Amino acid sequence: MIILVGGEKGGSGKSCIAQNLATYLAVDKVASVLLVDCDIQGTTADWIKLRNNNFNALPIDCVQLNGKIRNQLLGYNSQYQYVIVDCGAQDLLALRSTLSAADVALLPMRPKRRDLKTLVHLDELVNSCKMVNQQLAAHIVFTQCPSQPNQQTRVNDAKQTASLFDIPIADAVLHERHIYDDSEESGLSVLESEPKGKAADELRSLFALVLNNEMENSPEIRMQYA
C-alpha cells in the first residue's frame, strides 16, 4: 500500500505524521515499511538517521526521491507492505506523481486561513489524479488544533470551509502538543515516547480509522496483506 502524507502548505505537520505512521505500522503492526522523503529540507531523512542510531528504536528503511517518482514507488510497493511518502509543494511533480500511484493520501492542514486557501488547488489536483488513479482515497486531516474548549469554533469553522470541497475530512483531529517536537529530537515517535498520552491516542485513532476503512473498501489490499 502506498500512502502519501502531503500538501501544499509548510508547517502543517506532514513529516511528523509520516514518521509516526511509519512507526505505527512497523512497531504496532509489525509490517515492512519504507519511508520516502521528497522534502528538499530532508526532515524525515534526518529523523531516520537519528532513529537508526538509537539502539532503543526499531530501524526503519528510508530513501530520498524527487521529481517523477511514480514508477519507483510502484517498484518499492512490491517490496514493502507499506510505502509512506512525505511530500510537500516544494516538489509539485513528486506530489502529483505520488497521487497518481497512492492508495491513500493524508492531507494535513491547520485550521488557519492560509492553510485553507490551498484547498482550491489541492482539490483540483486530487480530482485530476483520480482520473488516472481511481483507487485513490484522500482525506483532509486537521492538525495542530487548539485544545482549549473556547477555541473549538475555529476548528468547526475550518471543517465547514473544507466541507465545500470534494475531499473527505477525517473524523480524528490532532491537537497541538509539545510531545511532537520532544520525541522527534531523539528519533522516536510520539507512540514510543509517550505511548499512553493524548497525542498517541489521537494518532492511533486517525491511523486505525483511515487504514481500516481502506482495507474494508479494497478487496485487492485485503488479499495482498492478509
Q: Hey, where are the domains in the chain?
A: 2-218
φ/ψ of residue 84, rounded to 5: -110, 125
* pLDDT (average), residues 24-38: 96
Helices 14-23 + 198-217 axis angle, to 10: 80
Query: Residue 90: pLDDT band by 50, 70, 90 thresholds?
Result: confident
Q: CA-to-CA distance for 33 and 104, rounded, in angstroms?
A: 15
AA letter at 85: V
CATH architecture of 2-218: 3-Layer(aba) Sandwich (3.40)
- Hey, what's the torsion of the CAs at 93, 99, 100, 104, to 10 degrees? 160
CB atoms within 10 A of CB 164: 10
Question: Is residue 34 helix, strand or coil?
Answer: strand
Beta bridge partners of 62: 35
Q: Is the pLDDT of residue 77 over 80?
A: yes
Q: Is the pLDDT of residue 221 over 50?
A: no
Query: Residue 205: pLDDT band by 50, 70, 90 thresholds?
Result: very high
pLDDT at 223: 39
> What contacts 24+ positions apart, CB below 8 Å, involve 155-159?
155/111, 157/111, 158/111, 158/112, 158/116, 159/111
Query: Residue 218: pLDDT band by 50, 70, 90 thresholds?
Result: low
Q: Is the pLDDT of residue 226 over 60?
A: no
- Hey, what's the torsion of the CAs at 192, 197, 202, 207, to 10 degrees? 20
Q: CA-to-CA distance for 142 and 123, rounded, in angstroms?
A: 15
pLDDT at 214: 64
Query: Residue written as cell 518499492?
Result: 76
Measure CA of the first residue to CA of the last residue in the chain; give whole Å.
13
* pLDDT (average), residues 34-56: 92
pLDDT at 222: 38
pTM of the entire predicted model: 0.91
Of 56-60, 88-92, 138-142, 179-183, the range with the lowest mean pLDDT is 88-92
Better pLDDT: 92 or 101: 101
Percent residues over pLDDT 70 in the chain: 94
Q: What would the grid cell of residue 9 be?
A: 502548505
Q: CA-to-CA distance for 32 and 81, rounded, in angstroms?
A: 5
> What contacts 24+ positions apart, CB below 8 Å, involve 215-223?
217/137, 218/103, 218/135, 221/1, 221/103
